[in-house]
Structure formats: structure tokens, C-alpha cells
Structure 1
């Protein structure tokens, strides 16, 4: 029986019908994630298309049809059609000519099976006809999808040698779509784990974040450490930190807090600020991500004693991260807005204290007391000021 893609909202989009009209139904196929996810009953967020037309022909035909095209990856045969209801990436069929583990030299093709053969996993090499929605499956991807099995196309070690990042992609896809580990795949990932050192750190960082953003990657991270893969990309993460991540995830769920890759990255690192700074630099994280990891690295057991005081000091996001990682309840600060300290330095000067560092010291002492007493109202602040001035 021929497998077909079910009718969904995205397959019935007028914009896609317009694109098919421009390129011809026999020369374009929906491919990859949109096909895979739709078959699994998931929402397809990104629509990718493969075509037998060369990029220049795609651009010309779309221009004639009034479709705006952006040459987003023209050197690799990819252009993007811009539509109000969602863009579509269109890539000319390709075959690999040469690979070095980081990048590939490609040649264009007119054979769908050539294009399928260069993809990583069988479940990503499914092509759907835009009119009939009939699926072309060249490597048993449909059976693997039904079995919740993630398997490399062809020999796993060969595919990894073509692109070392496929090691991390395997663990991400196996976490999201698999129910078990493929022995050939995990063996190849373990054997070739040292090749990850040759990759761009940005690419490694991005893949780690994508993995950590999944609902529960804790078992996968533990498996990566067992196989020697985690040590190659995050050597700072030991058994203790892997177990810390495993405790964090149910704590997030219990608190009703959405998964966050940076919080989970922080859990995979020891509570040492220079380590967080080193990892941030190595993975080329943004300044905001670096600051967050460094803030969470300053966590300590005392953080759980006054959650609101902690949130006032370091901000709600960092406070929630710290509390969850150390196993404390963050409910007191979820949805809580920290008040503004009501006392100003000028008020202290008006009480007879000369301008200078003494004003700042008094202000700081009173603010510390105000936080310790859980932000009492203004009359109590005035009492504190009286007490501080009397003590002088």
C-alpha cells in the first residue's frame, strides 16, 4: 500500500499551491522535517522543499509567478520563498562530491535518490509529492518512524566521517523521535567522538542547546557521558553534574516552569564562576548567556533561605535557575515583582549626614536590613533610618 501524507493545514496553503504552480508538481517535493513531523502527528513548523531545478531557474520561475525569493544559501543550492503565512526553503537536489567532516563539496543532481542518500537519518529522507501527497521512501524511513527508531542512512561511521556534527544530531534526534538506542549508531558515535574537537564551537554550542531544549534530555546526556561523547564537548561536566541535570528536570515540571537550555547547561557545570566563563567563551555564547551561566555558577545552599531576597539581588531568572538546581522551591518568586527600595540618599543628607561615602554606607545597611525583613513598607524603613542615625 502506498503511503501518503495526511491532509493538514500546511499542505493546503494557497502559497504552497502557488509555489508548486511555478516550479511544476513533478519537479518539487516536500522533504525532511515537515514530512516526518506530520506523519508523527506533530505540528510542522518549517516547510522545506527539494527540486530538480537549478537555483537560477527557481529564482526566475518564482519571479515570474510574483513570488519573492531570497538567496539564503545559494552556494549550496538553497533559496527561500517569502510568504506571509510562512517561508519555504527550496534546495536543488544534490549529491556529495567530497567531504572532510566539517563541510561538503556538492554537485547538483536531478535524481531524488541522490539527494536522499546524502541525508543523515532514514526518517529525514522522506519526500512527499505536492499534489498526490504520495511519499517516496528510499531507505526504510517509514518503518523506522513507526518503530520510533533513529538510524543512519548506510554505514554509520561513514556518515559521521562526512560530517562530525552528526554525532550530536544523532543524540538530539534519538531523544526526540526514538524509543531505544541503535547499537550501530551509538558504537560509531563513541568511536568517532574525538572528531568533535575539529568542529566549529558555535555549531557544537548550538546543537547542545537544541538538545537541552527538549522536554527531558537527561537520559541522553547520561548516555553521551557513558559513551565518551559528552567529555569531548563539555569536559567540565562530570557524573555529579549529569545527576544534577536529572534532578533539575522533574523539579522544573513540578514548579510548572518551561524547559530552558541555559538553565540546563548551568546544571551541567560545577558551581565555579571561571568554569562558566570558560565554557561560554569556548561555545561562543552570547553575552547574555554568558552572564546568566556566571550568575547561576555563584549558587550556594543559602540561596534557598530567602528566595525573594535572592531574586531582588540577582534577578528573577537567575534566582529561579539557582533555586531549581539546588533543589529549593521557587514558587515564592514565580510571578513576583521585586519592589523598589523606597529610600534615597538625599533623604539621609537632609537628616544631617554630610554628602559622601557615609551616605552610601548607611543606605546600603538599611537596604540590606529591608531585604532581610522581606521588604517591609515605608514606615519601617523610616524606623531603620532613625536607628542607623541614632547609632552614629
Structure 2
């Protein structure tokens, strides 16, 4: 099946770098087609971020052709037939047509082919087995992708069990793709296969699991996806710590309804109820970055009082001591945890004030403390902190005379 030049007007397809890569791959009699997510998203009217290309040229030959045209090539997966073309505007992942020779549950040994249908049959879902020529003509080698895409039905290609056994990550991808592009309940055959084979997920690396969890968590329909994963026994395998799906679902609804920017790592944190040690164990297993680990730990374990009815003084104090990011994380979790459901205006106001607030600079200096008679050493830091605490309680007064008077009082009471 094909649709004549259906994507001809797609902006990404007509970019100079895109045309250059496609023309180069076809310059020696070869064939190159866009494949997978870029075709799927373009047909759905969704943003296209990554461009994958399939070609009948071998990785070595594709590299030679591209390099000869001045296009940088990175051998990102030669053993599996993949190289990446690096241009000033985009990276293009280029993979030779292939078939699986032997599967290991995490990757497969492959053989190159020139059969487009054979290449399509080894892919995961029917809606991802769509190809497009450089002129925008769409191809559906299996004759199923277009119909499933139109119905927004995420369906494994061929036998679902076989597709999953080739790479158990496809279990998580099933829920992720459905969360982003599916409608209604997940395909029952695929759902059963995922549930039956869920133990295979244990052999996957933490990095691969983490990436899929965060990508799924970022979807507007993430709440339903994680509930479905939990019901199928899958979440207990990959994220048994997820004890707060109620809070997670509420956070997803808040961000969708309030049109907030989605922060996947905060969504992940909202599912958890862990102390610092628990977060550290989870971070090690999922290979979270130190930055993400610390953000999750602080969001879950910070003890600052955050309620929807904070006074301006309490708000300023919290922002000064916590910083804007942690404050807003705590506000979002507090909002998602608010069972009353009628304080949305107050929670949103706190976020707005956090965005507009500029952290004041404490005007007291070490030189001023020394001039007040404090000797060199740890006493300078102690006095500095005590006066700063008073200054915070005074709502960051800019009255220098009052600050100096407080300094003198502290020095007289604790130094002399």
C-alpha cells in the first residue's frame, strides 16, 4: 500500500540537511526511506523530533557515501547495521535493512537484506513499520500499519510473544507508545503477552528501563498507562517502589489541565514514598544521574512546611532557603496530594510567585562582622548565620541600620 507523496510538504522532510542525506544514500543506486516514528508522527500530525532512515546500503557503504559528501558519520551500532549521520541541524540514525538471525531478549544477531517487507516484519508495532520515500510517498509493506495508525491501535507485528522474546524492552514500549499515540484500552492480545512475559524484564539494564519509564511518564495519558502496567503485574517487576500511583495520576491531571511544562523526573518522584536511603537504592538500580537522584530525594524528604495557604513571609522564607526548583517541586507534590480539590487557585498562585520572585542578597559581609569585633575563625560564620536568620524572619529587610544594630546585639550578647 502507498499514498502518493502524502508527506511531501512535511517541513522536516524538506530541510536541506535531510535532503542531502537522502540524496547521498541514493546516489549509487541504493534506496533510502524514512521509517518508524518520524513517519508515524508526521501522519498523525504530531511533532517529529528524531529522523530514522532505512537503506539497502550496508553500513560501510553508507559511511563511505556520506563521508565523501562531507557528512560526518558516527558508527553508533555497526554490528546491528546502524550509523549516525551528523549534520549542523540534525542527527540521522541510518540502519541497513535487516532480519533477526538469533534473539537474546535484549538484542538480536542480524543479517542484512534488501527485502523491505522482511525488514518491516522484524519491527515491533504495525504503526512503526511505515516507510516514506524522500518525495513523501508512504509505504506500508505489511498492509496493516496505516489502518492501525488511523485507529490509534498499538499492535505487535505478527506473534506478540515472539516480538517480545526478541527484546523484552518491547513490553515497556507497548505501554509507552499506547500512552502517547493509542486510544481506549490497550490491545488485549498484546497486553496478555506483556503480562505473561513480564519476568523477562529483569534481564534488562537499568538504563533502558529508566528511559522507558521516564518517556512513558511524560505522556498525557501516563496515569492510565501506569495503572495498566500495575494491573498486569509489570510495574511490580520494574518499579515495585511505586506505591503512590494516586498522587502520580493527580499530578498528571494537574499538569495537563493547567498546561504546565511536564517534568518526567518529578512525575516519577510522585509515585514514590521513599526516604533518602530508599531513593539511593532506586537511583542505583535505574542508573539515575546524580542530579535526578538528588532532586527526587529532596522532593520526597524535605521537611519545609508547604501548604496552599502560605503567608507571604512563609513563602519568601521557603523560597530563600529551598531555592525555586525544590519549592516548586514541593508545591506540585502538595497540590497532587491535596484531597480537598478546591485549592487550585492557591497552589497555582504559589507557583506564579515563585517564578516572579528574585532571591535577595544578604547585605552583611565578613568585613562588617570583623569590624564589629568578632575574631577570626568559626565565630564569624556563626554570627553571620545568626544575623541572617533574623534577617530572613524580618522578611529580608533592606534597612542597613537595623541589620547593623542586630549584628551589634548578637556580638554584645555572645562574644563579649
- Unpaired segments of 5 or more residues in structure 1? none
Task: Judge conservation of contact 1:300–1:326 (CA < 8 Å) in 2.
Answer: no
Corresponding residue of 1:211: 216
1:127 and 2:128 equivalent?
no
Q: For 1:89-108, what per-residue CA distance to the aligned partner results, in whole angstroms no more than 9, with x for missing partners?
A: 21110100111211111111
User: Per the alignment, do residues 348 and 64 of structure 1 end up closer, same or farther by CA in structure 2, a change over 3 Å counting?
Assistant: closer
Q: For 1:1-53, what per-residue CA distance to the aligned partner results, in whole angstroms no more than 9, with x for missing partners?
A: 84243221222234444334333376221111111111011222222111112
Q: Which residue of the other structure, out of 78, 97, 103, is the alignment partner of 1:99?
A: 103
Task: Judge conservation of contact 1:32–1:125 (CA < 8 Å) in 2.
Answer: yes
Q: Which residue of the other structure, out of 274, 288, 296, is the alignment partner of 1:285?
A: 288
Task: Judge conservation of contact 1:271–1:299 (CA < 8 Å) in 2.
Answer: no
1:37 and 2:72 equivalent?
no
Corresponding residue of 1:350: 371
Corresponding residue of 2:333: 325
Corresponding residue of 1:23: 25
Corresponding residue of 1:72: 76
Q: Which residue of the other structure, out of 165, 179, 185, is the alignment partner of 2:169?
A: 165
1:259 and 2:259 equivalent?
no
1:6 and 2:7 equivalent?
yes
Q: C-alpha displacement at 1:370, in angstroms?
A: 2.2
Corresponding residue of 1:145: 149
Corresponding residue of 1:385: 407
CA distance in 1, matches of 2:388, 2:92: 55
CA distance in 2, matches of 1:308, 1:267: 24
Corresponding residue of 1:236: 241
Corresponding residue of 2:200: 195
1:155 and 2:168 equivalent?
no
CA distance in 2, matches of 1:185, 1:79: 31
Corresponding residue of 2:306: 303
SS of 1:330's equivalent? Answer: helix
Q: C-alpha displacement at 1:68, in angstroms?
A: 3.5
Q: C-alpha displacement at 1:324, in angstroms?
A: 0.9
Task: Judge conservation of contact 2:97–2:112 (CA < 8 Å) in 1.
Answer: yes
User: Per the alignment, do residues 346 and 94 of structure 1 end up closer, same or farther by CA in structure 2, a change over 3 Å counting?
Assistant: same
Corresponding residue of 1:374: 395
TM normalised by structure 1 equals 0.92
CA distance in 1, matches of 2:405, 2:225: 56
SS of 1:334's equivalent? Answer: helix
Q: Which residue of the other structure, out of 305, 315, 329, is the alignment partner of 2:323?
A: 315
Q: For 1:115-145, what per-residue CA distance to the aligned partner results, in whole angstroms no more than 9, with x for missing partners?
A: 1111111110001122361423415111111
Corresponding residue of 1:273: 276
CA distance in 2, matches of 1:64, 1:348: 68
Q: C-alpha displacement at 1:222, in angstroms?
A: 1.8
- Unpaired segments of 5 or more residues in structure 2? 336-346
| Bigger shift: residues 346-355 or 265-274 | 346-355
CA distance in 2, matches of 1:373, 1:271: 35
SS of 1:88's equivalent? Answer: strand
User: Per the alignment, do residues 13 and 331 of structure 1 end up closer, same or farther by CA in structure 2, a change over 3 Å counting?
Assistant: closer
Corresponding residue of 2:338: none
User: Per the alignment, do residues 59 and 352 of structure 1 end up closer, same or farther by CA in structure 2, a change over 3 Å counting?
Assistant: closer
| Paired positions, count | 390
Task: Judge conservation of contact 2:51–2:91 (CA < 8 Å) in 1.
Answer: yes
Task: Judge conservation of contact 2:117–2:141 (CA < 8 Å) in 1.
Answer: no
Task: Judge conservation of contact 1:307–1:319 (CA < 8 Å) in 2.
Answer: no
User: Per the alignment, do residues 332 and 386 of structure 1 end up closer, same or farther by CA in structure 2, a change over 3 Å counting?
Assistant: farther
Root-mean-square deviation (Å) = 2.2
Task: Judge conservation of contact 1:255–1:331 (CA < 8 Å) in 2.
Answer: no
TM normalised by structure 2 equals 0.87
